[in-house]
Structure 1
Amino acid sequence: MSDSKVTNELKNIIPDTKYYLTNDEVNTLTTKYGISTEQLIIELIDVVKVRAKCVTSKCYVGAIGVGRQTKNFYFGVNLEFSGQTLAQSVHAEQFLIALAHCKGEEGIELISVSHFPCGHCRQFLNELYQSDKIKILLPNEQLQYSLSDLLPYAFNLGTGYLLSFSSVNKLKLKIESTEDPLVHCAFKFALNSYAPYSNSPSSVGIQLDTGEMFAGAYLESVAYNPSLPPLQVALVHLIANGKEYEQIKRVILLELESSYGCPSQFYSTFALLRSIAPNVTLETYELSVLNN
């Protein structure tokens, strides 16, 4: 754990509601303190990890990822939900990847985590585009590893293009027409849902009592269990913008109609929504696949 002067200053100047730094902001901080990008990340880890919502484990985990294209910093923390199965949890590494996906970041080149990544997350990270080039930085050791160092025998079917945005799902809404802005917001995310193994793209849209809207797309793992459901991704988007669960007024789920025989996100989404926003009704909208 870092208790340096730089870390303490960063705790005071970076708001608790800020979950990413632009490359310009990163350069400003490295210049101000006369440190490298890697050293800035090490100083920031303790700033980030205290934001974790770990109601069950009480284990505060923080992570920071560096965008391959933008060099922006994306923060991640672990999320746990009262009264819910631990399978609904979001790990810190997943949080930052979800945030990067919401921001349209194309690839991650370096990830730093306050604790060694668990096997679950190592497998999830293996889905990233050019995952063989990702460096893993462990602040306590100040050492860098490749993902293959930490996951030498990954379960892999050769896909791995999460965050490449190389293709868009060919979908359409089943309803004839709608002027509902939340549906349109969620639909844009469904188009970029990453589900190459089950072929079941989906997304969730959230509207707050302020009228603000956030959405998230389903992000899949070849190992299935490490996959990140769309509601969790949407909640990452919400939290990273300084919002609270209590502000949620409306939630919608977009997924393929049942005739496709794909796995459904409905029941897990419904269960989690009951915990964080029990008075909100889950609305569903069906998608279909566009014919070529």
Structure 2
Amino acid sequence: MRLDPGANEAVDVRAALSRLRRAGGLPVAFGGLLAGAGRYRINELAGTETAVLRGLDIVQGNGLGGKAVALSRPLAVTDYSTSSVISHEYDAAVAAEGLRSVLAVPVIVRRRVRGVLYGALRRPVRLGDRTVSAAMEAARELEQALLLQDEAAQLLSLALPRALHEQGGPPSTAGDPARWEEVREAHGELRGLAQRVGDPLLRQELLAACGRLAAASSRRPGAEGDAPALSPREVDVLTCVASGATNAEVAERLGLRPETVKSYLRSAMRKLGSHTRLQAVIAARRAGALP
């Protein structure tokens, strides 16, 4: 299974729009992400009565959203069609949907505007601080989700090709300790990211990628046996232990109590037939539970 950025991004945008409507008290919300140089495509709608806004390309600087993108800050107008502070390239689409009071919030990841979210009313009402704050919070959550996806995609692009190459590479490179250490680090980071991801489908994709890394390890020369039936949390604990973390550090990383970490570790050691933490990590690697 491979990470599908487009599909996951759409899920995250929809979640942000749902939060914006719920927390901001706005019946209509729409938005989209970067579609090209200086262009942002509206591809997600919530609470609209028509599809006229879908597929609309917002150019940086144009209209309310384009101006919010250019300034990298939220903007709101009480009556879109008569506002004197924005340009009016998109008046026809806004009027066709019957929108009057509109706000726009840029979505910024690593100092780069990646998208724009809108919330709207069908009557001319000044939007208060509570509504604007709710929209900003929805944008911040979307920013965090996109950042996690970026980090996951980067790790996968580095780790998976290397792991798959190493497992079938010539004797001079297969099992290269330095390269496999990079794969192991990526595996640990991916499992950590999976715990922070809210989208269950994306979490499943990340864990599936972790499984591919571990499977690649089990097919290296010298690897042996099948993976024992370790639980996901037992694998999480062993992954942290393999990085040199103490039980207290493992507990902090995974959001568990130290006693719970000890319980998972004892269970994993029993399943692996190991008597020490190091033996458990080695056995898990040999069995393909860890890369």
The question of a shared fold, defined as TM-score above 0.5 by the shorter chain, is answered with no
Q: TM-score, normalised by structure 2?
A: 0.25
Larger Rg: 2
Q: TM-score, normalised by structure 1?
A: 0.25
Please identify which structure carries the higher helix content: 2
